[in-house]
């Protein structure tokens, strides 16, 4: 059966080995035979640079991903935690880096793929930070530092991000309706798949006089899950 899988927001980290084990089972049990696998950002809790593949967890994940990506075309989109992943990681794992946003033909339906953070336009402080760290000059300056310094910097950014969330109202950390409608209009798609918000579900929108559907992927802090698209449609699948 033709099927394509989508995941996001695994936030793999050394302190959560159970999530890495769940990812290994997903690659072993769910991915074989699929037409494609799309990882829509935040595979890792943080990524200090591709030379960090020498660290224990990244090396483990590379070993897990490599055979899966050789067997099934696997695509990776940057998230807000692993935006420093670059060509060396893709070469080692066999994954293919795709831009955010990306439009694909999903069994005859043009489908827009995003990480989802750019849809949260109410969070102006985060969007300013995003613009800073996505700047090639900022990244080049960061990569001059030692790996140890970059790991410490990434961990500090993670702590600051979690602390900042506590002072924000829930609404600004979710997508803005106007941003979603603009994404549908700009792409010409009637279907959108994204992660980031950790609010999984199926949402209906009216955009440009058309009925549109937005699917939000689950995070993996709990049991995790994925979306499976077939010629019959899309379904959400929870993991054990």
Environment class of 203 (CB within 10 Å of its CB; exposed 0-12, middle 13-18, buried 19+):
middle
* 149-161 residue pLDDT tens: 999 998 888 887 7
Directed axis angle between helix 147-166 and helix 136-144, to 10°? 130
Secondary element (H or E) of residue 7: strand 3-7
* 182-222 residue pLDDT tens: 999 999 999 999 999 999 999 999 988 899 999 999 999 99
Q: Averaged over 110-134, what is the pLDDT?
A: 95
Domains and CATH numbers, the chain: 3-117+177-238 (3.60.21.10)
Question: Mean of the per-residue pLDDT values for the chain?
Answer: 94
pTM: 0.95
Number of neighbouring beta carbons within 10 Å of residue 137: 8
Position 159 scores a pLDDT of: 81
Position 155 scores a pLDDT of: 87
Phi/psi for 169 (5° steps) reads: -70, 155
Secondary element (H or E) of residue 71: helix 56-71
């Amino acid at each position: 059966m033709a099927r394509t899988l989508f995941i996001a927001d695994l936030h793999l980290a050394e302190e959560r080995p159970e999530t890495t084990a769940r990812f290994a089972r997903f690659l072993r049990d769910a991915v074989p035979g699929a037409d494609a696998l799309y990882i829509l950002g935040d595979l890792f809790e943080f990524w200090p640079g591709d030379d960090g593949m020498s660290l224990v967890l990244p090396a483990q994940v590379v070993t897990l991903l490599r055979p899966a990506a050789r067997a099934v075309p696997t695509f990776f989109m940057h998230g807000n935690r692993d935006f420093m992943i670059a060509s060396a990681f893709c070469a080692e794992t066999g994954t293919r880096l795709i831009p955010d946003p990306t439009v694909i033909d999903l069994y005859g339906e043009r489908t827009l793929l995003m990480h989802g953070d750019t849809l949260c336009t109410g969070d102006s402080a985060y969007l300013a930070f995003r613009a800073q760290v996505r700047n090639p000059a900022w990244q080049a300056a960061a990569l001059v530092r030692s790996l140890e310094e970059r790991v410490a910097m990434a961990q500090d950014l993670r702590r600051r991000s979690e602390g900042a969330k506590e002072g924000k109202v829930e609404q600004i950390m979710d997508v803005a309706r106007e941003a979603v409608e603009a994404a549908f209009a700009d792409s010409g798609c009637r279907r959108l798949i994204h992660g980031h918000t950790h609010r999984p579900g199926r949402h209906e929108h009216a955009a440009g006089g058309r009925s549109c559907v937005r699917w939000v992927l689950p995070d993996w802090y709990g049991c995790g899950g994925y979306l499976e698209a077939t010629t019959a449609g899309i379904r959400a699948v929870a993991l054990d």
